Amino acid sequence: MFGYIRVHKPELKFREFEDYQAVYCTLCRQLKKDYGFAARFLLDYDLTFLVMIRMNLTSVTEPCQKERCPYKCGKPCPKLPGHEEFFSYGAALTVLLANEKLKDDITDEKLLRRLLARVIRFPVGRWSKKAKKHYPKTAKIVDEITSNQTAGEKASEFCFDRCADAFAKGASELLSFDLPADSARLMQSVGYHVGRWVYLTDALDDFQRDVKRKRFNPLARRLPGASLNEVAAFAQKQLFICIDQACLAFDLLPEGRFTPILHNILYCGLEARQSQIIRRITNHE
Amino acid sequence: MNDPYAVLGVSRDATDEEIKAAYRELAKKYHPDRYVDNPLAELASEKLAEINAAYDEIFTARRKQQNSGSYSASGTYAGTEFTEIETCLRMGQYERAQMLLDNVPIPQRTARWYYLSGNVMYSRGWYDEAYTNYATAARMEPDNVEYQNAMNHMHRKQTRGGYRAPSSSGAGCSACDLCSTLICADCCCECMGHDLITCC
């Protein structure tokens, strides 16, 4: 995926960071268990957030088990026992979304990256087929994200919100998938606004490259001929609304073990990441 | 729905300002921020929804009274059609509200149409379209407080709203700061022949 949804470490307590690492490392282990050793290279922070926020609706009382990473020279690698259904879902989504991203790279990227994407797609395509077998409804949602996005980009009348809506709606369905009705509605709202935030952040991050290569970029279409500062200012306003709305919905969810970490991500981490991208872009002007 | 005036605790003769003041008081009292992590949050939010509906109903009725005659002169729309759209919005029927809005011919799209369209867009999470519609409504009726409030609400959402947890980086005064300041003050006083803190 994109890796934009991260914690803001300066505001996190050590024991909270250990919990966060435990979710991240357990997801890595699940990828290896379900799809093989190489699948762990697809691991990212966005899906760690998804697993954590879904797991937060249940009671997670098990302490982290202190283990060592078999792939990183014995670095500490805490593990969270139990709750395999959440990690399995997260692992399936990781490979499904990675497969869609590679399909996108094969059509959009430069020659070398296209070739690399084709090579990587061999194993990822196989893993994706396996994930589709176990999670057919989830695979259908991921396919719909891609088709709706394409439809929005190719529509005769461009609508900025419609383009963002395709990804945001998909994210809301993925986050709330198979949850009980009372929490599904709130999770849909968190998912929609975090999804919209990710889509717009990615558009902002890729803005200069897309304009240079004449590729579709919703911000470039929305603000034709605008300067980098104007695009950054517009994007920032949209991103702040997304964070605000996601936080409002999140605040109504029941508290759980990971609430402080999720609070850190939504209240601090998202803004920190978007500020980093905006600073990089506007420093080029 | 209950009598909207009773919900806001005002008389039917209350002025617009009195109604707005009563609404603000009740909105503060039942604001979700006061009920975070409280098992009664749902009840507070239901109460807040009731207050918002009462406020909308009172002002919609008052506006219709003020504008009675001008809607029938302009033709088919803007009267009952907007009432139905507003009802759909209150009940969360956004798709129906959108369909009713789309049925209004372009020449008959008043400021109110753009405002309600903005509300539907906002509910769907289409914030760029929502802002454009609110801006159009505010431009068509610059004196309308409701449309200006909608614009201000969007402006507030678009700026950083104090998301961060209170900073622990040292800004502000700690106990050490207080103590050392008092000691310094005591030393200064003693130099000038007086004593701020007699025990040291």
Which of A162, A237, A278 should we substitute to test contact with B (largest number of B Cβ atoms within 10 Å)?
A: A237
Question: Which among A237, A241, A267 has CB closest to B164?
Answer: A267
Average pLDDT value for chain B: 77
Radius of gyration of chain A (CA): 19
Among A7, A9, A161, most B C-beta atoms within 10 A, so best to mutate, is A161
Taking contacts as CB-CB distances below 8 angstroms, the residues of chain A near B126 are: 161-162, 164-165
In this predicted structure, the answer to whether residue B74 has a pLDDT above a threshold of 60 is no
For testing contact with chain B, the best of A160, A219, A240 (most B CBs within 10 A): A240
**Chain A nearest CA to B122, separation (Å):** 10
Cross-strand pairs, A79: A65
Q: With the C-alpha atoms ordered A191, A193, A196, A200, is the resulting torsion angle positive or negative?
A: negative
DSSP string for residues in B116-171: HHHHHHHHHT-HHHHHHHHHHHHHH-TT-HHHHHHHHHHHHHTS----SPPP-SS-
Amino acid B71: pLDDT: 42
Confidence (pLDDT) at A91: 95
Q: Does A161 contact B121 at a Cβ distance shorter than 8 Å? A: yes
ipTM of the complex: 0.76
Residues of B in contact with A242 (CB under 8 A): 127
**How many pairs of residues across A and B have Cβ atoms under 8 Å apart?**
61
Nearest residue, CB atoms, A255 vs list B37, B128, B154? B37
Q: How many CB atoms lie within 10 A of CB A32?
A: 17
pLDDT digits (tens, 9 = 90+) for B154-191: 888 888 654 444 334 444 555 566 666 677 667 766 76
pLDDT digits (tens, 9 = 90+) for A208-261: 999 998 889 999 999 998 899 999 999 999 999 999 899 989 988 888 999 999
Closest residue to A251, CB basis, from B36, B154, B164: B36
Q: Which of A238, A243, A255 is nearest residue B163 as measured by Cβ atoms?
A: A243
Mean pLDDT of A11-25: 92
**What is the model's pLDDT at position A7?**
94
Cα atoms in the 13 Å half-sphere on the side-chain side of B157: 23
pLDDT of residue B70: 42
Per-residue model confidence as pLDDT tens digits over A189-202: 999 999 999 999 99
pTM: 0.73
- Segment B5-15 shows an average pLDDT of 87
Question: Which residues of A lie inside 8 Å of B (Cβ-Cβ)?
Answer: 11, 159-162, 164-165, 168, 192-193, 196, 222, 236-238, 240-245, 247-248, 251-252, 255, 263-264, 267-268, 271
Residue B103 to chain A, least CA–CA distance (Å): 19
Q: Are A19 and A259 in contact (CB under 8 A)?
A: no
